[in-house]
Chain A
Amino acid sequence: MSEVHLAVENVAIGFGGVKALDGVSLAVRKGSITSIIGPNGAGKTSLINCISGRYIPQQGRILFEGRDITRMPPARRAELRIARTFQNIALFKHMTVLENLMVGRHALMRSGLLACGLWWGPARREEIEHRKAVEEIIDFLEIAHVRRKPVGMLPYGLQKRVELGRALALEPRLLLLDEPMAGMNAEEKEDMVRFILDINQERGVTCVLIEHDMGVVMDISDWVVVLDFGRKIGEGTPDEVRRNPDVIRAYLGDKDLAAV
């Protein structure tokens, strides 16, 4: 677990006068669950967007497995097996669960347009292989009963699960999870936590997690990074963060801290 999987070095990005990220550096260890916490507007999602390639930082660099990906387009990052989920679900709502997951495999498909169109020989074999991988994800996430339902018709909690499935379809080495538990009830949260732990432990996927539920963060994270106004104000193991006076002042507050 000692190897650095993802390194963010002195990254800054601003929108007009607002500094969303102001020289943030952090290291995500391979095989860890690293959580990014902070109050609203702290720059958490901006950081994920820089890592996944939606934003290009104005300063600093991002290294994934030792390679500089700072200016790499998102599609290339997907090929490096960096996958993400979104805070607001971004699925193809009119497509079925199965189709959404198959889209997730797109970056891994090798057959050309013509071969795929004819669906013959290698292209067909390839599709069967991808379908098999997708079926394993469906089994893993326990969504077999909605396999052929359009995603838009599913309840919110299940949609969140499908989105996680689509990210998994990429067979990620790094998984970026932007508030996977937002808006869920206790039972759905518990399921989601179990899935994230299984993804991390059984599939060995490095996870970067943004989450507001402090109970969850403190329970499952190996490392916690705290942002406030675009700056890193602390990091450490959950215990260390809990005791860090700067963090307490900026974010947790005395009462909340006692609760966790």
Chain B
Amino acid sequence: MVSAEQLDTLPKRLQAMARKYGRSRVALREKEYGIWQEYTWQDYLDHVRDFCLGLVSLGFRRGDKIAIVGDNRPEWVIAELAAQSAGGTSVGIYQDSLAKEMAYVIDHSDAVIVVVEDQEQVDKILEVRDLIPKVRHLIYYDPKGLRTYTDPWLLYFPRVLEMGREYGRQHPGLFEEMVAAGDGEDTAIICYTSGTTGNPKGAMLSHRNLLAMGDTIQTVDPLTPDDDFLSFLPLAWIGEQMTALAMHLSIGFTVNFPEEPDTVQENMREIGPHVMFSPPRIYEDMVTRVQVKIQDAGWLKRKLWEFFQPIGLRVADARFAHKPVPLTDRLLYALGEFLVFSAIKDHLGLARLKRAYTGGAPLGPDVFRFYHALGVNLKQIYGQTEIVGIAVLHRDDDIRFHTVGTPLPGGEMAISPEGEILLRSRAVFQGYYKMPEESAKTLAGGWLHTGDAGYIEEESGQLVVIDRLKDVMRLSTGEIFSPNFLENKLKFSPYIKEAVAVGNGRTHVVAMINIDLQSVGHWAEGQGIPYTTYQDLSQKGPVIDLIAGEIARVNADLPEAARIRSFVILHKELDADDEELTRTRKLRRGFVYQKYAPVIEGLYNRAKEIPVQSRVRYRDGRETVIETVLQVRELLPVPGQSEESEQPEPRAAGGGGVG
């Protein structure tokens, strides 16, 4: 047996897994034609070998880059490992990126081959072909609609596999030689971070970085080769690279790919994964789904839920506080598990889950308690692309909502004098591709500078993340608050999809809201309120009342200064295509503040109504202008000058325990 140290690249791990498990275990599973189709470890290696040799026959050499765009399918990871086997680097691109965004990443990363899924992506790439002169071939794996494309620049995935088999016959042993020549310090992937400002930066991660992460997390949260994982978030995202690639090759569990992006919920239930890692949005959506379903459920089911959920919350709270759970609660909880919780978990596909990780943005404590009440072991992690996703996480027996845990074994954390979180471990990246200055700044002094503000809680020694260093805000009264924190609180309401809190340098906090069209629409139907579009629904009086009620509830839990005094419901949904959200659906705050400056001014000028005009860009590039009037609602008295001077002392207002 070769030690893990010697298996220092991902392809070497793949070879070892194939040697160990051959055809006896399933490496990948994809639902196609309604059936879960399986790839054993040997199949996986065979495909990687053939595709690798196919690439080599097309002139792909050690150090070359391959760019990959597509939904989660075996071909994605096969192409990735094939490039790495040849000593190359893979660059994942989000499949819903615009053509010009794709062109930037492809060209900046110097990719020579691009692998895409289907006609949609082929058309996008063809559109920007002039911008990517270094690309020699475009390989696609779904041929639908591409029969009439005769350009020799395009190659069909199975054709490349065939070329690889032929090349392998002419060059026996070449694949094994190339894999053996691989080094742990080779760059395995370049992960372009979605970047809330400016062009995305390409974080270079070595094989050693990725495997360090995969091997270490196993010592804290062990998984077995019998476990399942469902890969449904973009493979270009570090979280998915970490699980579907690094942890997969380190542990040997099965990675499952859903049939279509639309069937994820169904497939999740069929697979019942043992582990998942998602940004908060996914967990928030599930909560909304459960809440809406329960409102629709019959009388008995609703009553059962209303009876048992508080018990679940009580038990969860006791466990969080490390207090003993009274016997009656334990018995009632067991009954609740039997009658209600197990059924809900089964519906969501969480029945077999050993643990779920959330990271990337703060998750509201309410969402946390919701899952723990159900008996789902949801844990907060902290990390970023530059340190392969997870660097700090909760241990199973010590979960606190406002903290993110302690570093993985072998990792260290520190807080800089400015309050910035610094990290150090073997997973810290090699730098940004072709950006030496940025890299030096981020890695100054041997620490990874995260750009996040935080502190280490004395009592538990756990890390508390406040917000991005640049996003922590201050009212004109000097009180600090975290808009993210407020927004997460608001978004726990099933009726609020997106929220934008404003208050930097102002006397008080105001908010702009996106309603959740599905649940508010449903509610409106129940109330007999007719509506046509999102825009129409958003300005209906009863809808504004509904949202006002939700905000008032959130306000009740907030410190005085952080309370939302007035709000509007925006006339359109914030959208990544309008650059208001990132591709992982994080708010691009600076941009949104600027774009909606007139609305914000209106709120602070205490206008009753705010006329707006906004440009909407459709997927096909067309633009239209929407003109409408937003209704302002004031919830609380707006502080005047006199009130301000009565509270000279700066005080924390939200943000998970600032100050």
Q: Which residues of A line the B interface, CB within 8 A?
A: 131-132, 135-136, 138-140, 142, 144-145, 147, 194, 198, 201-202
Contacts and interface: CB of A to CB of B under 8 A. Distances in A.
Interface string B35-50: 1000000000000000
A245 B148 CA distance: 35
Contacts of B266: 145
Contacts of A198: 144-145
A201 B34 contact: no
A194 B145 contact: yes
Interface in B243-260: 259-260
A145 B33 contact: no
B148 A201 contact: yes
Contacts of B259: 144-145
A194 B262 CA distance: 20
Contacts of A138: 33-34
B147 interface: yes
Nearest to B32: A139
A246 B252 CA distance: 72
A131 B34 CA distance: 10
A138 B34 CA distance: 9
Contacts of B144: 140, 198, 202
Given A136-B33, A140-B144, 12 more contacts: A132-B33, A135-B34, A138-B34, A139-B32, A139-B33, A144-B259, A144-B260, A144-B263, A145-B263, A198-B144, A202-B144, A202-B147
A194 B263 CA distance: 22
Which DSSP category, helix, strand, loop or mixed, fits chain B's interface? loop
A144 B262 contact: yes
A36 to B, nearest CB: 26
Interface of B: 32-35, 144-145, 147-148, 259-260, 262-263, 266
Contacts of A145: 259-260, 262-263, 266
B260 A142 contact: yes
B263 A135 contact: no
A135 B147 contact: no
Contacts of A144: 34, 259-260, 262-263
B141 to A, nearest CB: 14
B547 to A, nearest CB: 27
A132 to B, nearest CB: 7
Contacts of A139: 32-33
A142 B144 CA distance: 11
A147 B260 CA distance: 12
A237 B260 CA distance: 39
Nearest to B261: A145
A163 to B, nearest CB: 20
Contacts of A147: 34
15 contacts: A135-B33, A138-B33, A139-B32, A139-B33, A140-B144, A144-B260, A145-B259, A145-B260, A145-B263, A147-B34, A198-B144, A198-B145, A201-B148, A202-B144, A202-B147
Contacts of A131: 34
A110 B269 CA distance: 36
A144 B31 CA distance: 10
A26 to B, nearest CB: 27
A201 B35 CA distance: 28
Name the 5 nearest CB pairs between A and B, nearest first.
A145-B262, A135-B33, A145-B263, A135-B34, A144-B260
B518 to A, nearest CB: 14
Contact of A201 (B33, B147, B260, B263): B147
A223 B33 CA distance: 35
Contacts of B33: 132, 135-136, 138-139
A142 B262 CA distance: 9
Contacts of A136: 33
A147 B35 CA distance: 12
Contacts of B34: 131, 135, 138, 144, 147
Nearest to B262: A145
A2 B259 CA distance: 40
